[in-house]
Chains A and B, each alone.
Chain A
Amino acid sequence: MLLRGSFYWVLKALLSHYWRHPWQTLFLIVGLMTGVGLWSAVQIINSHAEASYQQANSLLGAQATYWVRSQSEQGVSQAKYIELRRAGFRQVFPLIEIEVSTSQGDPISIIATDLFALPGELLDQDAIDVGTNSASDWLDFIKPPYRAWVPVALAKELGLQRGDSLLLRDGRKLPPALIQSRSQQGRRVLMDIGAAFELSDIHRFSYLAVGKISPAQLRKLQSLLSDDLVLVENQQHLDLAQLTRSLHTHLTAMSLLSFAVGLFIVFNAVRFSLWYRRETFLNLRLMGVEVPKLVVAILLETLIWSFIGTGLGLLMGMQLGQLLLPALSASLHSLYDATLAGIIELQFDTLFKAWLITLFGLSWALAWPLYQQLKTSVFSANSTVAVEDSESGARRNLAVGALLLLICAAVLYRRMDSTTEGFILLALVLFAAAWLLPALLALGLRLCSSFLPEKSLLGRWLVSDAWSQLPAFRTAMMALLLAMTANLGVGTLIDSFRGAFIGWLEVRQSADLYVRGLETGRLQLPGSKISQTWLADSHARIGVSTRWRDRPTLIRGADTRAPDSLSFPLAQWLGESPGDALATWRNEPGVVLANEQVHYLAGIKIGESVRLETDEGLQNYRLVGFFYDYGNPYFQFYLPYAEVEKRWKQSYSRGIALWLKPDSGGGKSSLQLAEDHLRKQGLQAGDWISQAEVRKLSVNIFDRTFAITSAMNALTLIVAGIALLASLLAILQERLPQFAQWRALGVRQGEQLLIIACPVLIFVSIVWILAIPLGALLSWILIHKLNIISFGWSMPMQWEMAPAWQLGLLVLAVVFITLLLAMLRLRHGLAEALAQLGIIT
């Protein structure tokens, strides 16, 4: 007999479960929150990054459509700049870029401009990223002693507070710091032109930026430039979107993995709610509630949870996005020289997508199992045997599903050629392993029991208790396997890359000093007489930036007989050995070396010809070697110096590398003599960098490059830890009355702990053992397939066991914390549990 408004009561009866079992409710919420939170955090920062690329053609908040640069790398004179301003080119503003080293040897990039000359509204608050920018800050900025505007993240790294003056290696100091930045300042320190001139003593601008300009004005501007000055179009925003696509796909994939792990928690929580609500369903059906009404109630419940999950998840995602932003900024800056604004915003698009994905996840993890339950609740047998039967059936089904996934993976592997397909392959492999896991866990238990002596009662109890817990642990173990595998795989990728990168640095950066800066074009090296004292060898390079296959490309002119050219680290070569290929490059005309990116991203093979656009038209060059070029998003070609100088008139000095003689003992060291010589030539500390510094810089850049990957990796593991914690706590909570019963039967606390802990440890150990080969497989796919498709560089895989041991210990720690919590609860909840026992028995 049903009353009017019975639907309300049906819904209430269904939802009352969550009131009565707050732990499960909590885990459901935690699962949703972490899954949606991590996914949306990445979505938010990805769309934020895309928005930033749109603004990338601006600099310091002003548009920069063109650059005015000196071909001879002499910079632009003040007189030329003022001439252009007075000719009405108000969109032209001056910029100076300086590299300095702190007293600790950390490299700092400085960008200087005249804020009053920037096009656009002078005191436009929108251009300020961080902090309140009062008018007095602007005046302090342009007046001695000036101010150095340091972005928050950089200030944190350097330990700088407002008002601190950063001490540089050569004893000079930066102006007092103000912790704030302008948009597109990136990780650079911003200061006034006046301050930069005082710091560097060079009174020329590195280049001029040109804001929005009409074609007619552009022609006029071109006509006013002297022979040495050229207009270079700023295509940064176009390039960035193209270059960073792979990185964002990586992030999206990792966030989807986190979402999947989060869903496992939800799935786990729902499992228990199913168990508990079986009676509710039964009663409702017996009371005559029709199935459609129950279906609608389940859908409504799903909808309610989707709103709660989306809301809380997005809240967490926003916070997490803000936390991850510095890591992403660092990665983007290192890889692509891209800068991100500091404040993120939630867009409607992300909100809607988050809700959709939550609804989809909940339909799979909550609504579908509930519906299945509903269908079977009246007639199904409520016996342990039936449950076990259905469990072994589920294990079988999952194993079959896993095999199907593996077949799909094998098919995809053969024809994979995009980053997205690569991640689909990874997902197939990971989920196949996860679905195979319950069967493997069961196999593990069978093996355990077969090795147990007949008379070991405790042992048999342990194993049979493990069998009974297997269904409950299934999803948590799957989540753990996914997270551990991903962690090991990505960890190995990073370690392999680091190893390869450092080895490569040692070969590529073999010189003792690298001289750069405006004046290198004019650098005079000592003649033979003086060179006897300190200079062993030198290598002057020139280069030109161009586009090839619609991607930014660098063409370099190198001295083919310089020490570093003789040991070019080649990944592929034409002929018997790398030495043969390098000899061909040295001795034969029309031969070129290219970075691996040309091979993997442009599909050029060794021995083929590439057509490069020179001043004299298209020119063919035969490719005799691909060299490793880690971290470079651009194509790069190496040609003999004379060839580049002849064919590309716009090429200019790209620095000189100096090899020093060993110290002769007594008097000044070779390094001191070299530095004295450079100073005499009008160069300043900061215009050259030593090998040690350049290595430190490179390794720093490397670490920053993987900052976001490491952060995401750690977060996924944390989510898996929460999944494990949630399911263990839920299981132990459910079994409290059982434990109380044992206690009543005289089982001691130690024995009880053993019985609770052993099955968990058996499962976790199996998962850990399985995660090791899977992790290796994952990293193999990442290194040999995905990395090459995404970034175009290859490296050997370096597998080590230490991270696997660390991970094992970490998981053990989570298990022990959970057990400790459970034992504490047991102690406190014993009276209540015993009371429940009384009711149950």
Chain B
Amino acid sequence: MKISIATLLVLLSLPTSPAQNDYQVLRGEAQGFARVIPGIPVEFPRDHMAHPSFRIEWWYITANLLDDSGNPWGLQWTLFRNSLDPQADSGGWQSNQLWMAHAAISSPEGHRFEQRFARGGIGQAGVSDIAADGNFSAWLDDWQWRSDGLQLFPSNLVFSVAGQQVDMRLESSSLWVTHGDRGYSQKSVQGQASYYYSQPNIQISGTIRTGNKTVSLSGSAWLDREWSSAPLAQNQPGWDWFALHLDDGNKLMLYRLRENNGDHWLSGSWISKDGSKQHLRRDEIELIPIHTREIKIGEKRAIKLPLEWTIKLPGLDRQWNVKALYDEQWMATRFAYWEGVVLVEDASGQSTGVGYMELTGYD
């Protein structure tokens, strides 16, 4: 679940600073906006497109790749949409839609990221109407994810981060995975929720060009789609999220919404290699931070983050250790968070997979 930073767009409307406040807009009632209701299943291709009646929404791609020498790389590309008010979008320069995009490259040379903003209604950013345009397209300026036809895959993802030009081809023929109850993903005991589905089985390959140097990469990507109007409860300061590609072909998504009283909300999906999904309830997941390390997040600031975890699924009799590939994968964007490549090991320390981890609300 990537309730992440998109939310933060809305945060533009709030006084800045304490991190706790940055996320305030995700909490409580979103008067006038569409509500997330159980029992309404997600539908395709309709739900690949934007839902302007909901306050927040994102198209979130993460990828674990290897270069020709076998070095691990990571890519993140996210497009966030935010409605500034519950009124219908009038389009043009009066549009109440605001867009933000984040992109990052984790490589042996280090972590690079960029953020971009654009208003809706003028064509500078948006998500296409698949039927009308004949293909799917999500873009902000020249950052673009565009499919060949009416399906999301195969498609091309093109963007640049700090002078590095990323050109990737995405392919997938797997079934879509809806989380929670047919896409209704609950976030707290009070009933906060979002619509949430993923495509965890994407084959990704392409190049990253820096000046005259081009690196060829290939690996696995993961797409998350989520939209809501108020997914967080008042007492939830942040979350920890994992999307893991296991070597045996299985996939695991799980998240922990931290609650002030320590009674955290946990949820997840176990996706077998045949594509079938098993919903994981909070009492079926054990998520234990085992190593906290300090990282620099600015010129003079450093924070401690749980960068190694133990994940246990007692019902499936499985256990892994997950640790950051590089500690320095901090997204010092306007709304900052940690997002990066993780390595998965079994209890004996044997590598069993890779994935992405997101940690928010710690700064």
A contact set with B: CB distance below 8 Å: 78, 82, 85-88, 90, 114, 116-117, 122-123, 134-136, 138-139, 142-144, 192-194, 197
Contact = CB atoms under 8 A, between A and B. Distances in A.
Interface stretch (B90-98, B223-231, B281-289): B90-98
A124 to B, nearest CB: 10
Given A116-B118, A122-B117, A194-B93, A139 B12 contact: yes
Contacts of A116: 98, 117-119
A840 B16 CA distance: 74
Contacts of B11: 135
B15 A114 contact: no
Which of B85, B93, B98 has most chain A Cβ within 10 Å?
B93
Interface of B: 11-16, 84-85, 92-94, 96, 98, 116-119, 122-124, 139, 141-142, 144, 160, 334
B93 A117 contact: no
Given A82-B124, A86-B139, A197-B93, A143 B85 contact: yes
A122 B119 contact: no
A135 B14 contact: yes
A78 B93 CA distance: 11
B147 to A, nearest CB: 17
Contact of B124 (A88, A117, A194, A197): A117
Contacts of A123: 12, 16, 334
A82 B13 contact: no
The 5 A-B pairs of least Cβ separation, nearest first, read A194-B93, A88-B142, A135-B12, A82-B123, A116-B117
Given A116-B118, A136-B14, A138-B12, 6 more contacts: A85-B142, A86-B142, A87-B142, A90-B142, A117-B124, A123-B16
B84 A143 contact: yes
A78 B119 CA distance: 14
A85 B92 contact: no
Nearest to B10: A139
A87 B142 CA distance: 6
Nearest to B121: A194
B120 to A, nearest CB: 10
Contacts of B16: 123, 134-135
A135 B94 CA distance: 18
Contacts of B93: 192-194, 197
Which of A123, A135, A138 has most chain B Cβ within 10 Å?
A135
A192 B139 CA distance: 23
A97 to B, nearest CB: 17
B79 to A, nearest CB: 14
A142 B119 contact: yes
B141 A85 contact: yes
Given A139-B84, A192-B93, A82 B12 contact: no
Contacts of B144: 86
Nearest to A194: B93
Which of A138, A143, A197 has most chain B Cβ within 10 Å?
A143
Contacts of B92: 194
Contacts of B94: 144, 194
Contacts of A142: 98, 119
A456 B142 CA distance: 98
A194 to B, nearest CB: 3
A144 B94 CA distance: 7
B19 to A, nearest CB: 15
Contacts of A78: 122-123
A122 B11 CA distance: 14
Contacts of A88: 141-142, 160
A135 B10 CA distance: 10
A227 B117 CA distance: 30
Given A193-B93, A197-B93, A90 B116 contact: yes
Given A90-B141, A122-B334, A194-B92, A85 B15 contact: no
A142 B139 CA distance: 21
A117 B118 CA distance: 7
Which of B11, B12, B14 has most chain A Cβ within 10 Å?
B12
Contacts of A134: 15-16
A78 B91 CA distance: 14
Nearest to B116: A90
A136 B13 contact: yes
Contacts of B14: 135-136
A194 B92 CA distance: 8
Contact of A135 (B15, B142, B160): B15
A66 B119 CA distance: 24
Contacts of B141: 85-86, 88, 90
A610 to B, nearest CB: 46
A160 to B, nearest CB: 24
A114 B123 CA distance: 13
Contacts of B123: 78, 82, 86
B118 A135 contact: no
A135 B25 CA distance: 13
Contacts of B142: 85-88, 90
Nearest to B158: A88
B341 to A, nearest CB: 27
Contacts of B122: 78, 82
A741 B123 CA distance: 92
A543 B320 CA distance: 74
B323 to A, nearest CB: 33
B117 to A, nearest CB: 5
Nearest to B142: A88
Contacts of A87: 142
B215 to A, nearest CB: 21
Contacts of B118: 116-117
23 contacts: A78-B122, A82-B123, A85-B124, A85-B141, A86-B124, A87-B142, A88-B142, A116-B117, A117-B118, A123-B12, A134-B15, A135-B11, A135-B15, A135-B16, A136-B14, A142-B119, A143-B84, A143-B85, A144-B94, A193-B93, A194-B93, A194-B94, A197-B93
Contact of A143 (B15, B96, B334): B96
B334 to A, nearest CB: 6
A88 B166 CA distance: 13
Contacts of A85: 124, 141-142
Contacts of B84: 139, 143
B22 to A, nearest CB: 10
B223 to A, nearest CB: 22
Contacts of B98: 116, 142
B13 A139 contact: yes
A197 B160 CA distance: 32
B170 to A, nearest CB: 20
A192 to B, nearest CB: 7
Contacts of A86: 123-124, 139, 141-142, 144
Nearest to B93: A194
Nearest to A87: B142
Nearest to A125: B16
A136 B119 CA distance: 15
A35 B92 CA distance: 58
B33 to A, nearest CB: 16
A192 B94 CA distance: 10
A145 to B, nearest CB: 10
B85 to A, nearest CB: 7
A25 B94 CA distance: 65
A139 B118 CA distance: 12
B24 to A, nearest CB: 12
A143 B16 CA distance: 19
A135 B11 CA distance: 8
A122 B114 CA distance: 12
Contacts of A114: 119
A134 B14 CA distance: 8
Which of A114, A116, A122 has most chain B Cβ within 10 Å?
A116
B89 to A, nearest CB: 12
A122 B334 CA distance: 8
A328 to B, nearest CB: 33
A142 B85 CA distance: 12
A123 B22 CA distance: 15
A490 B32 CA distance: 65
Contacts of A197: 93
